[in-house]
Amino acid sequence: MSNLTKNIIWAVITLIVISLVFSYFVGPQTQPKTLNLDQLVADINAGQVKQIKVNGNELDITMTDGSAAIAQKEAESGISDTLKNLGVNQQALQTVDLQVVNQSGWQFWAGILVDPILTLLIIGILFWFMFRQAKTGVNQAFNFGRSNLKLSNVKDRVFFKDVAGLREAKEELIEVVDFLKNPQKFLDLGARIPRGILLMGPPGTGKTLVARAVAGESNVPFFYISASEFVEMFVGVGASRTRDAFMQAKRAAPAILFIDEIDAVGRQRGAGMGGGSDEREQTLNQILVEMDGFDRDTRVIVLAATNRPDILDPALLRPGRFDRRVILDLPDMNDREAILKIHAEGKTLEKDVDLRRVAARTPGFSGADLANLMNEAAIASARHNKKSIGQPELLEAAEKVIMGPERKSRVISQKEKEITAYHEGGHALVAASVKDADPVQKVSIISRGFAGGYTMKLPSEDQHLKTRNQFLADLSMMMGGYVSEKLTFGDISTGASNDLKEASELARRMVVKYGMSDLGPIVFGKTEQMMFLGQEISNEKNYSERVASEIDEQVRKLLMHAHDIAEKILKTHKAALKKIADTLIEKEVLEQDDFNAVLKPFKIKPIAA
């Protein structure tokens, strides 16, 4: 039954009950008329009275026409005497059915008590309802202090085999599993058991997953809470929730207590950002107190996750607290392949699917991204009415995860298409013509997300270091679109603006951060980095205006150099550029092999950037 019908039914029932109660009190609509005794005698003499019931002093009178009346007799004398005194006709009185109702004590008292008892009962029920309502409210208020600790289901246990890669993390955590399983072995040796382990890594790298795997492997309950839930509007709630969470975990020991996003409360105290929140500090203090309060053999291990270890309060990291740190990195190519394999389980893949190639195409993807990729591929295959997932769907899904869904429907004019083709062709040709540039994987003039078209070039292997020459090659390639438009159409579109922005930023970083300009091996400006996110929070200028203009000069020089390289390449290979652009206009997308085939006849020799 829907809520609405339920409510309506309740409303109707309530109305009926209320009207019944009212009619009880108000009595029947047709009130019996009240006669005085003289009138009664007159009526009896006229033969209009059928019956008189005497009930104490009350006379319930029924007339011959069926109507009812009441009258009151005098208390001291009997009914017959009273009527006689008033001159009733004896014969007429004989015809009246005169009854004297002998009131028993019970009836008497019932008559008096029924009304107030019923009233009290109704008031009582009303109060009971109101009280119940209020009580749930009160309970909710009390619940603020309780944690929203979630206990993970035994059914969806995960194990280390469900976690691909992350070898170091697993090695570190196997010890924890061992301890939870045979604590005595460690205690006998007088070893201090780890209490807190901090899992650090970018979002989606499997911090939650690996923590759950520890619980799964040790076969203990897994309690999950996000530190952001500790912090509520009311001061003091966080601390009491913390106490509650630890209490629950201790009661279930041996157990794992997982605190996600610990940076939400564990931020360095007194660090400027966001102002010092009392509530956060209290919660953090409470966590520290709880962890210090563990006995040597408390078998609760606290795992905490963060992607901002750089901002954590050092107090959290002291011995006896989160003194072990496990770093979870983004997966490399082998790990990516392994993660894809795990998420391909239970899905049917076509025989020619090459997960290694998918892995090669997805550097920088986190485990969560890869899981998402697999799912997108499965959805795409289902949409194409296929029974299994094919390589094209996988590659398509990879791009979708990077760039957002393809927007085939965006109408572009022929002229726009031509401009985009030359623009992307310019990027691709420059990339193919400078040494140290990453190979072009795909060129497309189908718009995606915000990009009008795109040229995808990826390093053939995972890179951790980049050289100045590689940056120069990147800069030249970024300029390729702009230069190509200028050379071909003698005009420049807004399509190049994002390239120019990125190129300018890269050039500036080369100068102020990497010491890759004529200004030499100096770093300018003081920046604070968000460790994994690679963003700069603040940029303090610690150089003079004169140096500032020198920096600008160097940035400009780098950009102009890149521009000139791109121009030189595109001018010398005009025919190749035209060929690429024409093929793009026709096919819209060139995969790596197609692109290389188009370029092959031109026998381009890469030059240094």
Q: Which of 203, 404, 405, 439 binds ligand ADP (CB under 6 A)?
A: 203
CB atoms within 10 A of CB 1: 6
* 207 binds ligand ADP, rule: CB under 6 A: yes
Report the interhelical angle of 278-292 vs 237-251 (nearest 10°).
Answer: 20
How would DSSP label each residue in 115-147? HHHHHHHHHHHHHHHHHHHHHHHHHHHHHTTS-
* 214 binds ligand ADP, rule: CB under 6 A: no
What, of ligand ADP, Mg ion, Zn ion, none, does residue 165 touch, CB below 5 to 8 Å by kind? Answer: ligand ADP
* 218 binds ligand ADP, rule: CB under 6 A: no
CA distance 600 to 594: 10
Residue count, binding to Zn ion (CB under 5 A): 2
Interaction mask 559-598, Mg ion, x per CB under 5 A: ----------------------------------------
Q: Which of 194, 196, 206, 254 binds ligand ADP (CB under 6 A)?
A: 206
With beta carbons less than 8 A apart as the criterion, state whether 388 and 369 touch: no
* 305 binds ligand ADP, rule: CB under 6 A: yes
What, of Zn ion, Mg ion, ligand ADP, none, does residue 257 touch, CB below 5 to 8 Å by kind? Answer: none
Could you tell me the sign of the dihedral formed by the alpha carbons of 81, 85, 88, 89, in that order?
A: positive
Q: What kind and span of H or E run contains 502?
A: helix 497-512
Q: How many residues does the chain have?
A: 609
With beta carbons less than 8 A apart as the criterion, state whether 302 and 222 touch: no
Segment 453 to 482, residues that bind Zn ion, using CB under 5 A: 481
CA distance 457 to 361: 10
Rg value, the chain, Cα: 44
Provide, rounded to whole angstroms, the least separation between the CB of residue 499 and Zn ion: 4
Identity of the residue, 8 or 530, whose beta carbon is nearer to ligand ADP in the bound complex: 530
Catalytic residue annotation: 424
Q: Which of 147, 152, 205, 208 binds Mg ion (CB under 5 A)?
A: 208
- β-sheet bridge partners, residue 223: 151, 257
Provide, rounded to whole angstroms, the least separation between the CB of residue 577 and Zn ion: 14
How would DSSP label each residue in 342-388? HHHTTS-B-TT--HHHHHHT-TT--HHHHHHHHHHHHHHHHHTT-SS
How would DSSP label each residue in 67-81? -EEEEE--SSS-HHH
Provide, rounded to whole angstroms, the least separation between the CB of residue 261 and Mg ion: 8
Interaction mask 499-538, Zn ion, x per CB under 5 A: x---------------------------------------
CA distance 417 to 493: 12
- Give 247's DSSP letter: H
Identify which range of 109-117, 204-212, 293-301, 471-479 contacts ligand ADP by CB under 6 A. 204-212
Segment 483 to 502, residues that bind Zn ion, using CB under 5 A: 499
Residue 477 tokens read as 């390639």
* 368 binds ligand ADP, rule: CB under 6 A: yes
* 47 binds ligand ADP, rule: CB under 6 A: no
How would DSSP label each residue in 525-589? SEEEE-TTT--EEEEE--S-HHHHHHHHHHHHHHHHHHHHHHHHHHHHTHHHHHHHHHHHHHHSE
Residue 43 tokens read as 């009526």
Identity of the residue, 307 or 484, whose beta carbon is nearer to ligand ADP in the bound complex: 307
Residue count, binding to Mg ion (CB under 5 A): 1
Identify which range of 66-74, 363-371, 549-557, 591-599 contacts ligand ADP by CB under 6 A. 363-371
Identity of the residue, 376 or 499, whose beta carbon is nearer to Zn ion in the bound complex: 499
* 309 binds ligand ADP, rule: CB under 6 A: no
Provide, rounded to whole angstroms, the least separation between the CB of residue 530 and ligand ADP: 16
Interaction mask 341-360, ligand ADP, x per CB under 6 A: -x------------------
Binding site for Zn ion (CB under 5 A): 481, 499
Binding site for ligand ADP (CB under 6 A): 163-166, 201, 203-209, 305, 339, 342, 367-368, 371
